[in-house]
């Protein structure tokens, strides 16, 4: 057994968040410009070291988001992704230029599977691209990260040559991803040890882990990588990402906190913001968090069986290795009513992790009063839904003004008034169910070709007067936009969520084209 390491002596692991880049690559996940800016603020407040804000060459929308995040974030490093192509690297450099601390993250695949079938390049050609891409990136930015995509399936000797070349060309961080989620923890740790041992200048770079969760091992592999010498971990809130996702940020951070004594490592992330970040990402992507998800699941701190409850009442340490409040999960309690004042409201939001500006606070307070009029008990979760709903709203070219729905055994119809660019327009429609009728009415007022890809309703709290939080995902020409809204009336929430998704879709159309294939290299 290794000797316990005191808190002061623990080495720091750099937390690199890729929720907005790899996370957004989750099938169906998509975040609007405003949502990304808001998420960047949350991540910075949490103390995340590096925020990978997007893939600037992928679309104008991605470029604009990375640039805007570079303008507002001052504490964290803002990073953009670029393939080993001049056009990617130049675009990325332009996007991160305003950042106080900017990073270009460039990558190329190194494994035989990717070299032969995707790149159709020999080992020497890949090596040449590594040198050229890192050199180009270093001429544009001091902080360059290089990734060997599919590192875990790469021939070790070739991997050493690539890493050596990248470090000599000026990469400060070397990321060795388990792109296909294939590794076992011991193998992944050994890969880091071997690379560090076999590359002469390995001490000139920080090594980084980036794990996918195809075998459910992403977090275990990331921790093993740290034990093998990695000092940066790439992860995403709620573990979202390509296929089965990335290592979950909240799990990595809490593993370092709870087992820091054994591991000898910690991070600078303040876990108290974790629950808020998780809820926000879930709301904007429309990806629910599974009830039993570690750290942020609804049941993560719930004790059901009599034996467990008895133990908890005697001493929480019997069944709890961390406290819910450590990760910002306050016990959901009765908080505010319609007589609560503005000051108490602001303090409550602060306790929940929101520090709103005066205008946003005033607006939220009005909405809180409206909610308190409709709903007897206003819980923390209600307030979180209310504020997240407002933060996620973004552009409001289209707004719901009035909705009346007739439902029941005799058929369903909706009477709807929308404000479109400040002009009120009305429609009446029927449908197969009340939600269908509402959506048909929206379609009549705002004709569009987008297909509905997700419609999801979730009750924010318990009870029949609970607010419904609705997520809607639309897709048009490969562009995906998600909208969400909360309301005590499920149909109003549905209409607002659909309209929110349409607004996001339209603002995406204005801001950028969808992905373009870039064939050119050096
Ligand atoms: O999984 C992966 O290999 C990646 C790289 C682009 C870093 O996401
Ligand atoms: Zn990845």
- At 510, is the pLDDT very low, low, confident or very high (cuts 50, 70, 90)? low
270-218-515 Cα angle (round to 5): 90
- At 394, is the pLDDT very low, low, confident or very high (cuts 50, 70, 90)? low
Domains and CATH numbers, the chain: 7-285 (3.20.20.70), 302-378 (no CATH), 394-521 (3.30.160.270)
What is the rounded average pLDDT of the residues 471-477? 90
Ion ligand 2 neighbours, Cβ < 5 Å: 22
Closest CA to 138 of 173, 169, 100: 169
Q: How far apart are CA 4 and CA 303, in angstroms?
A: 30
352 CA from centroid of ligand 2 (Å): 31
Q: Among the atoms of ligand 1, which is closest to the Cα of residue 18?
A: 8
145 CA from centroid of ligand 2 (Å): 14
To test the ligand 1 pocket, which listed residue (24, 144, 149) has its Cβ within 8 A of the most ligand atoms?
149
Helix (H, G, I), strand (E, B) or coil at 80: strand
179 CA from centroid of ligand 1 (Å): 6
- pLDDT given at position 513: 42
Question: Using CA positions, which residue lies closest to atom 2 of ligand 1?
Answer: 179
- At 518, is the pLDDT very low, low, confident or very high (cuts 50, 70, 90)? very low
Helix (H, G, I), strand (E, B) or coil at 419: strand
Tens of pLDDT along 320-377?
Answer: 789 988 998 865 455 677 788 888 888 888 877 777 888 888 988 998 888 888 877 7
Q: Among the atoms of ligand 1, which is closest to the Cα of residue 105?
A: 7
Q: How far apart are CA 202 and CA 106, in angstroms?
A: 18
Tens of pLDDT along 134-165?
Answer: 999 999 999 999 999 999 999 999 999 999 99
Q: Among the atoms of ligand 1, which is closest to the Cα of residue 177?
A: 3
Look at residue 4 and tell me whether its pLDDT is greater than 90: no
Tens of pLDDT along 99-147?
Answer: 999 999 999 999 999 999 999 999 999 999 999 999 999 999 999 999 9
- pLDDT given at position 462: 77
Judged by its nearest atom, the ligand closest to the C-alpha of residue 235 is 2
Tens of pLDDT along 258-306?
Answer: 999 999 999 999 999 999 999 999 988 888 899 899 999 988 887 666 7
Judged by its nearest atom, the ligand closest to the C-alpha of residue 153 is 1
Cβ 189 vs Cβ 224: under 8 Å: yes
403 CA from centroid of ligand 2 (Å): 43
- pLDDT given at position 414: 96
- pLDDT given at position 520: 28
Least confident stretch, 61-65, 285-289, 309-313:
309-313
Tens of pLDDT along 166-225?
Answer: 999 999 999 999 999 999 999 999 999 999 999 999 999 999 999 999 999 999 999 999
Element containing residue 379 per DSSP (H, E):
strand 378-379
Cα first-last separation, the chain:
51
Closest CA to 252 of 13, 69, 416: 13
- Mean pLDDT of all residues belonging to the chain: 90
177 CA from centroid of ligand 1 (Å): 6
Alpha helices, DSSP H, located in 286-324: 306-314
To test the ligand 1 pocket, which listed residue (107, 144, 181, 234) has its Cβ within 8 A of the most ligand atoms?
107
Q: How far apart are CA 267 and CA 257, in angstroms?
A: 8
Closest CA to 103 of 70, 72, 131: 70
Cβ 99 vs Cβ 73: under 8 Å: yes
314 CA from centroid of ligand 2 (Å): 44
Percent of the chain with pLDDT over 70: 94
Q: Among the atoms of ligand 1, which is closest to the Cα of residue 22?
A: 8
Element containing residue 14 per DSSP (H, E):
strand 14-17
- Ligand 1 pocket residues where CB is under 6 Å: 22, 107, 147, 149, 175, 177, 179, 210, 212
The model's pTM: 0.84
Tens of pLDDT along 419-463?
Answer: 999 999 999 999 999 999 999 999 999 999 999 999 989 888 878
Q: How far apart are CA 337 and CA 368, in angstroms?
A: 9
- pLDDT given at position 521: 38
360-249-223 Cα angle (round to 5): 160
Residue with the larger pLDDT of the pair 401 and 385: 401
What is the 8-class DSSP label of residue 469?
E
């Amino acid at each position: 057994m290794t000797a316990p390491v005191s808190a002061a002596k623990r080495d720091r692991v750099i937390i690199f968040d890729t929720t907005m880049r790899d996370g957004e690559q989750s099938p169906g996940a998509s975040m609007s410009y405003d949502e990304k800016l808001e998420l960047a603020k949350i991540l910075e407040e949490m103390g995340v070291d590096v925020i990978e804000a997007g893939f600037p060459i992928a679309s104008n929308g991605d470029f604009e988001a990375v640039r805007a995040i570079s303008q507002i974030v001052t504490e964290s490093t803002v990073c953009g992704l670029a393939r080993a192509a001049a056009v990617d690297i130049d675009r990325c450099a332009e996007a991160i230029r305003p950042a106080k601390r900017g990073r270009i993250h460039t990558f190329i695949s190194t494994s035989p599977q990717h070299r032969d079938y995707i790149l159709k390049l020999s080992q020497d050609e890949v090596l040449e691209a590594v040198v050229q891409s890192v050199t180009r990136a270093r001429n544009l930015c001091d902080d360059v990260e290089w990734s060997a995509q599919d590192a875990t399936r790469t021939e070790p000797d070739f991997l050493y040559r690539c890493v050596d070349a990248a470090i000599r060309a000026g990469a400060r961080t070397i990321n060795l991803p388990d792109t296909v989620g294939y590794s076992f923890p011991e193998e992944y740790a050994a890969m880091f040890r071997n690379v560090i041992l076999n590359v002469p200048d390995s001490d000139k770079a920080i090594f980084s882990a980036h794990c996918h969760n195809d075998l459910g091992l992403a977090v275990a592999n990331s921790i093993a990588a740290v034990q093998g010498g990695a000092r940066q971990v790439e992860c995403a809130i709620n573990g979202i990402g390509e296929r089965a996702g990335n290592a979950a940020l909240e799990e990595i951070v809490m593993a370092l906190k709870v087992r820091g004594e054994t591991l000898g490592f910690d991070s600078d992330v303040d876990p108290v913001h974790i629950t808020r970040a998780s809820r926000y990402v879930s709301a904007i992507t429309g990806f629910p968090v599974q009830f039993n998800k570690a750290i942020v699941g609804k049941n993560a701190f719930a004790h059901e069986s009599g034996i467990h409850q008895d133990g908890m009442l005697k001493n929480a340490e019997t069944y709890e290795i961390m406290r819910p409040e450590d990760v910002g999960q306050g016990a959901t309690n009765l908080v505010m009513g319609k007589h609560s004042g503005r000051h108490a409201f602001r303090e409550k939001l602060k306790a929940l992790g929101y520090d709103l500006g005066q205008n946003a606070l005033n607006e939220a307070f009005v909405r809180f009063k409206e909610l308190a009029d409709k709903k007897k008990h206003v819980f923390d979760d209600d307030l979180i839904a209310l504020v997240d709903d407002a933060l996620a709203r973004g552009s409001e070219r289209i707004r719901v003004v009035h909705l009346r729905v007739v439902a029941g055994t005799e058929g369903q119809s909706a009477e709807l008034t929308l404000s479109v660019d400040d002009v009120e327009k009305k429609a009446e429609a029927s449908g197969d169910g009340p939600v269908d009728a509402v959506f048909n009415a929206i379609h009549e007022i705002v004709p569009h070709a987008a297909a509905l890809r997700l419609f999801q309703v979730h009750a924010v709290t318990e009870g029949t007067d609970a607010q419904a939080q609705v997520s809607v995902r639309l897709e048009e020409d490969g562009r995906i936009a998600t909208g969400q809204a909360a309301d005590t009336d499920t149909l109003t929430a549905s209409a607002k969520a659909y309209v929110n998704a349409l607004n996001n879709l339209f603002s995406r159309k204005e801001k950028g084209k969808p992905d373009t294939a870039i064939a050119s290299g050096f």
